[in-house]
Amino acid sequence: MTGIRTFGRQLSDLPSQLPPELRGPDWVQANPVLIQKHLDRALALSTGGWFAIDASAAITGAPRPYLIAGRELVVWRAEGALRVAPDACPHMGARLSDGSVKAGRLVCPWHGLELADGKHGAWCPFESHDDGVLAWVRLPEEGQDPTARPILSERPEVFLDSIMRMEARCEPRDVIANRLDPWHGVHYHPHTFKRLRVIGIRDDRLVVRVVYGISDRLGIEVDATFHCPDPRTITMTIVDGEGTGSVVETHATPLGAGRTAIIEATLATSERTGFRRALKAAGLIRPFILKAQRRLWVEDAAYAERTYELRQSVNRGNLPQDSLGDSSPRS
Ligand code: FES
Ligand SMILES: [Fe+2]
């Protein structure tokens, strides 16, 4: 798109010539083989057994049910501490998420059994972690060595956070693959991305130069990288321009078969003096960030659902494998 004015910090000059794979129209650059290579690399990383549950602030003293990796869980806070356990009472199986918390103990709604943070028969809370932004649970996962803490990417020290959660009919890999295809940005989200170019691939990180539209004629231009710290997370980091150091962590948590929760934490930061004032007005600003996040993810969830649907069709033999993947400029 031409005619858009940008403001903000001056970016470094682009290399005079981009490598051959980063030239040509977006549909040629968005090479499915390259995207799959980056996805395979991400899928080979360790999860440490950790699953993002929701925003840390979404978990209160009132127990809530969550389905994660096929397990029904109850999540609550006991005197401020995050707790996660099976959502079935060890007595006769009542849903503990229908119960209450009294003096730090989870109380079963059927016969009043009180459960603390230790084992009760076969019932045992899972390891959990609250990183101040997101709540996590560690579950037994085949082929994964458990780690003491979730594997997080670097976060800014001071930030304004906004956390979005939505569900989609796909697998976590479809959510990650969507973000490993930045080339769809201007075509699929023209309301948000006014210009977007992949300008490099450094240390397995895709580097993009992107103009976020503020209005039809005005935008902010930044350089950002995309990388996966684990197989279920992709992080965008602003590395040059306005808001350098800001991150958007997108976590994809499997729920049940073909269902995934997209949990996205935007942690915005700035060196500008006015940013401290902005932090005081976080409550006013956050709904705008959330609205923009949700708008993009409604579209991207549809993209991820489509890739899932296509994979299912190929797996069932309803779609020939070789009917997709053409990014040849000849056609
Ligand atoms: S089912 Fe929970 S106390 Fe009986
Ligand atoms: Fe997108």
Check if 188 has its Cβ closer than 6 Å to any atom of ligand 1: no
- Between these two residues, 2 and 31, which has the higher pLDDT value? 31
pLDDT in tens, 283-314: 888 999 999 999 999 999 999 999 999 999 98
> Which tokens belong to 236?
């965008």
Domain contains 329? no
Q: What amino acid is encoded at 92 in this protein?
A: M
Task: Quote the percentage of the chain above a pLDDT of 90.
Answer: 78
Mean pLDDT in residue range 36-59:
97
Cα–Cα distance measured from residue 206 to residue 181, given in angstroms and rounded to the nearest whole number? 9
Q: Is 220 in the pocket of ligand 1 (CB under 6 A)?
A: no
The amino acid that residue 295 corresponds to is R
Q: Which residue has the higher pLDDT, 327 or 164?
A: 164
CA distances from 100 to 59, 115, 123 (A): 13, 11, 17
Q: Which of 6-10, 228-232, 270-274, 323-327 has the highest mean pLDDT?
A: 228-232
Q: What is the DSSP string of 246-290?
A: -EEEEEEEE-STT-EEEEEEEEE---STHHHHHHHTHHHHHHHHH
Per-residue pLDDT at 216: 80
pLDDT of amino acid 140: 96
Backbone dihedral angles phi then psi of residue 64, each to the nearest 5 degrees: -130, 145
Instruction: Report how far ligand 1's centroid is from the alpha carbon of 128 (Å).
Output: 24
Average pLDDT of the chain, as a whole number: 93
Q: Which residue has the tokens 């729920």?
A: 255
Q: Which ligand is nearest to the CA of 30?
A: 2
- The two three-digit tokens of residue 39, written as one number: 């996805």
Q: Whose CA is nearest to atom 3 of ligand 1?
A: 111
Which pLDDT does position 2 carry in this prediction?
A: 54
CA-wise closest residue to 166 among 39, 308, 296, 64: 296
Say if residue 169 is exposed, middle or buried (CB neighbours under 10 Å; 0-12, 13-18, 19+): middle
Let me know whether 64 and 29 are in one domain: no
Contact 194, 212 (CB under 8 A): yes
Ligand 1 touching residue 123 (CB < 6 A): no
Q: What's the 108 CA to ligand 1 centre distance in angstroms? A: 6
The pLDDT of residue 282 is 87
Handedness of CA 233, 239, 241, 246 (dihedral sign): positive
Q: How many domains does the chain have?
A: 2
Look at residues 104, 138, 172 and tell me which one is the last residue of a structural domain: 138
Q: Which residue, judged by its Cα, is nearest atom 4 of ligand 1?
A: 111
pLDDT at position 87 over 80: yes
| Best CA proximity match to 231, nearest among 287, 175, 185, 291 | 175
* Residues 106 and 173 occupy one common structural domain: no
How many angstroms separate the CA atoms of 228 and 240, rounded? 19
Residues 137, 140, 143, 144, CA torsion sign: positive
Q: Indicate whether 76 belongs to any domain.
A: yes
Q: Both 205 and 102 in a single domain?
A: no
Pocket-testing residue among 95, 106, 107, 113, ligand 1, by greatest number of atoms within 8 A of Cβ: 113
Does residue 220 sit in the same domain as residue 275?
A: yes
**231 and 267, same domain (yes or no):** yes
Beta bridge partners of residue 306, listed in sequence order: none
Lowest mean pLDDT among 20-29, 59-68, 146-155, 222-231: 20-29
Domain assignment present for residue 238? The answer is: yes
Reported as a single tens digit per residue, the pLDDT across 130-172 is: 999 999 999 999 999 999 999 999 999 999 999 999 999 999 9
Query: Within its chain, how far is the Cα of 67 from the centroid?
Result: 17
pLDDT at position 76: 97
Q: Which residue's CA is the nearest one to ligand 1's atom 1? A: 92
Q: Considering the domain boundaries, does residue 146 fall inside one?
A: no
Model confidence at 4, pLDDT cuts 50, 70, 90, reads confident
Q: Are residues 226 and 202 both part of a single domain?
A: yes
Q: What is the CATH number of the domain that holds 237?
A: 3.30.530.20
Q: Above 60 in pLDDT, residue 8? A: yes
Q: Which DSSP letter does residue 303 get?
A: H
Q: Please give the pLDDT value at position 330.
A: 59
Whole-number pLDDT of residue 1:
47
| Nearest CA among 135, 259, 69, 178 for reference residue 127 | 135
Distance in Å, CA 95 to ligand 1 centroid: 9
Placement of tokens 């800001």 in the chain: 246
- Sign of dihedral through CA atoms 62, 63, 67, 69? positive
Q: What is the CATH number of the domain that holds 83?
A: 2.102.10.10
CA atoms within 13 Å, Cβ hemisphere of 1: 24
